[in-house]
Amino acid sequence: MRKRGNRIRRKTVRRTVISAALGCTAILGAVLAFSMGLHMGSPEQETAVEPALLTAGPRQLTVHVPEKKERPVPSFSFPTIYSPAAILVREEDGAVLAHKNADQAVYPASLTKVMTCILAIEKLGDLDQTVTLPESMFYRLYDENASMAGFQPNETVKAIDLLYGVLLPSGAECCIGLAEKIAGSESAFADMMNQKAAELGMDKTHFVNTTGLHDEKHVSSVRDLAVLLQYAMQNETFREIFTSSQYLSGTTDQHPEGLMIWSNVFGYVGYPAEVTGGELLGGKTGYTSEAGLCLASAAKVQGEDYLLVTVGAQGSTWPYPPHILDALTVYNALGKELGKS
């Protein structure tokens, strides 16, 4: 009897030990699973858990999204320039480095054609389609002494050729030809220009025509024009045209060998045009007696692209046009300043 009782007691002890071990294992497994669940999260979302969330309920997972930090704006002040209204911005984000009279109402003259060109690019789609330039529109342009690219009355030209004619030599016939092709009339196209300006937040701007020929109601500001230029430069076709020094159009009956078109800006400064720490990339000139000499330009300085808009400079365009001198002065000063850092 004693031996049998001992065997029973030994079996009871073994059962107790095994049960206890199994119980400990289960508890340990549950704790481990709970801990791993907290630290690993779901496969789709990995996130850190704040320490406070481990000790209090109900538990909530907090996703920490790092804030996008704005890039610092280089310290820069305009050197002495001829233009009474000017603004310099970084192309990438539109950050303003320097400005004077940036929101003053000004006449934009042919800087208007930046809007004419980018809007035409967006509305046309197929830039190989042709446009015929009616003879009737040339009479008014001759009377107003408008700048021309060199296309002739009744000439049928590809749209892409007219776009180069708008920006490089500031051809008024190209502007009106494109406007009538797209909207039926210049005034209807001007309405589209104003709608686009409103979309871009150009609240100091009102367009009456496509060319910038003087009209008291045709106004803008250098800040608005910088917004427009920054927007336009994001378009690959616009940028290609704006930064070209010359262009040979396709052949037509009036130009069987094509029409060679030259940039007004590079006609003054040569190509390539170096500035301190970089180069002048391109530009659009403008002039009326009321607006003065105007320039919207782009340059790469110390590896970064910048845009400069100046309006209202007075003086002769030969041999040293003050609006071109202003651009070179500003970009050279900027290159020296950035080169210090």
Per residue in 46-99, pLDDT (tens digit) is 333 333 333 344 444 444 555 556 899 988 999 999 999 999 999 999 999 999
Within a domain: residue 16?
no
- State how far the alpha carbon of 227 is from the alpha carbons of 93, 98, 107, 169, in Å: 10, 14, 16, 23
> Rounded to an integer, what distance in angstroms lies between the CA atom of residue 244 and that of residue 167?
10
Q: Is 84 helix (H, G, I), strand (E, B) or coil?
A: coil
CA–CA separation, 77 and 250 (whole Å)? 45
Structurally, how many domains does the chain consist of?
1
Q: Is the pTM of this model over 0.75?
A: yes
Residue 129 lies in a domain: yes
Would you say residue 302 lies in a domain? yes
User: How confident is the model over 161-197, as pLDDT tens digits?
Assistant: 999 999 999 999 999 999 999 999 999 999 999 999 9
145 within some domain? yes
Phi and psi at residue 138, to the nearest 5°: -70, -30
pLDDT of residue 70: 80
Residues 226-235: tens digit of each pLDDT:
999 999 999 9
Q: What is the CATH number of the domain that holds 249?
A: 3.40.710.10
Q: Considering the domain boundaries, does residue 314 fall inside one?
A: yes
Give the pair of three-digit tokens for residue 274. Answer: 């170096």
Catalytic residue numbers read 110, 113, 170
> Is residue 76, in this structure, part of any structural domain at all?
no
Quickly count: other Cβ atoms within 10 Å of residue 134's Cβ.
14
Q: Does residue 5 lie in a domain region?
A: no
CB burial of residue 249 (10 Å; 0-12, 13-18, 19+): buried
- Residues (pLDDT < 50) of the chain are 1-63
| Residue whose pair of structure tokens reads 């791993």 in the numeric block | 36
Q: Which domain holds residue 192?
A: 85-339
